[in-house]
Amino acid sequence: MPHTPLTPVFVGLRIGLHVLVAALLALVVLRVLLVPSPFGWVALLLALLFAAVYVAGAVVARQSADRRRVGGVLWISALTLVWVALVFLVPEAAYLVFPLFFLYLHVLPPRIGPVAVVVATVVAIVALGLHSGFTLGGVIGPLVGAGVALLIGLGYRALARESAEREALLAELLATRDRLAASEREQGMLAERSRLARELHDTVAQSLSSIRLLLFAAEQADDGRPGIEHVRLARETAADALSETRRFIRELTPPSLDQGLGPALRRLGDQWTRDGLTVTVTAVVDDRIPMDAQTALLRIAQGAVANVAQHAGAANVRIELEADGSRIRLVVADDGSGFDPAAARAVAASTDSFGLRAIQERVDQLGGELRIDSAPGRGTTLTVTLGTGER
């Protein structure tokens, strides 16, 4: 049993049950030793067998849920058979029916436990009547004990059910807290990325743009001078650095999700199309997609298109997004040079390569599936499938 605030209560009840069984069994043994009987040795063996079977219950309790259910029924049946034989030899053994009541209610299924209590009560009354005649006390005692056991058993089950419900509620609250913390971290990261993008745009990108323009002017003014090749090389290097910086800025400032994932993907496609890469977007979405899934899918699409632009040499990219109530599917396909997915994964795992590894990590965080279909010369199709948790 997992530890809960009610665990000490359950442990106390179990310890009390063990103490009661040990005390009543000691009373039976003492009765056998003090009152000679032709079958005293049989009663003593049955008492020892009862103790052994009872202790064997600890082994049954350690089994898996299915085995424990079947093993518990067999165990309580064996314990009952030994008790029935013992109670007809020693009248004091009838008192063992009281701990058996609790075991029936705890081990047996809910509908069978009370029936077993009633049957055991009848057996105890009959056994006491055969030993010392049927008396009012011999009938009322087991009946009262059975009633008390039923009430306590019902209370125990209600307590256990309430404990389980509280544990489920606590687990849900903890999961919600973790999701909120992750969302706050994500928002903090987005704010920091936006700040970095603004800083890059206002400093590095502006400086590179100015350097490029100045070098271009110098190249045009003195086209025939000996050092013009160095000027031209510096201008081209500045142009490449400016292009890379603008790509970083674009990746740091993804389209907003204020209007949903579909419009954000379309704006992402428009940004890349303006840069010379033809991106078509087809988005059929469900408004119930969780925000963390929308953010992750947008990041995945952003990273996938950036990888295509940087490595694939593709002219066209197709982005498809589908969502129904229980499944989200994102496809990013290109007509580029393609690659070997197995080799790429091995390289990503053994180096600081971030593209595919970052996509895989995002998918893993959401419990989704990533499939990459590609081969050299055949383009690449990246498919991400996520569950929404709804049915």
Q: How many residues does the chain have?
A: 391
| Domain end position, chosen among 111, 134, 157 | 134
Evaluate whether 43 touches 25 at the Cβ level (below 8 Å): no
- Of 155, 105, 95, 161, the C-alpha closest to 128 is 95
Q: Is residue 48 assigned to a domain?
A: yes
| Domain end position, chosen among 113, 134, 155 | 134
Q: Is residue 120 assigned to a domain?
A: yes
Sign of the torsion formed by the C-alpha atoms of 236, 241, 246 and 250: positive
Q: Is residue 215 assigned to a domain?
A: no
User: Which helix (H) or strand (E) segment is 93 a member of?
Assistant: none
Number of domains forming the structure of the chain: 2
Q: Is residue 37 assigned to a domain?
A: yes
| Domain end position, chosen among 134, 163, 186 | 134
Q: Is residue 225 assigned to a domain?
A: no
| pTM score, whole prediction | 0.42
Distance CA 124, CA 139 (A): 9
CATH number of the domain enclosing 382: 3.30.565.10
User: Which helix (H) or strand (E) segment is 296 a member of?
Assistant: helix 291-307
What dihedral do alpha carbons 146, 147, 152, 153 form, nearest 10°? Answer: 60
Q: Is residue 323 assigned to a domain?
A: yes
Domain residue limits at 297: 257-391
Residue 162's Cβ-side half-sphere holds a number of Cα atoms within 13 Å equal to 10
- SS3 for 334? strand
Kindly give the confidence (pLDDT) of every residue in the chain, 391 residues in length, as a single tens digit, with 9 standing for 90 and above.
444 554 565 566 678 777 878 888 888 888 878 877 777 788 888 888 888 888 888 777 777 777 777 888 888 888 888 888 888 888 888 878 888 877 877 778 877 878 888 888 888 888 777 777 777 777 787 777 777 777 777 776 777 778 778 888 888 888 888 877 777 777 777 666 666 766 666 566 666 777 777 777 776 766 666 667 767 777 777 777 777 776 666 666 556 666 778 888 888 888 888 877 888 998 887 666 777 788 888 888 888 888 888 778 888 999 998 887 678 889 999 998 888 877 766 655 544 344 677 788 888 888 888 898 888 888 899 999 987 655 4
Q: Is residue 155 assigned to a domain?
A: no
Q: Is residue 176 assigned to a domain?
A: no
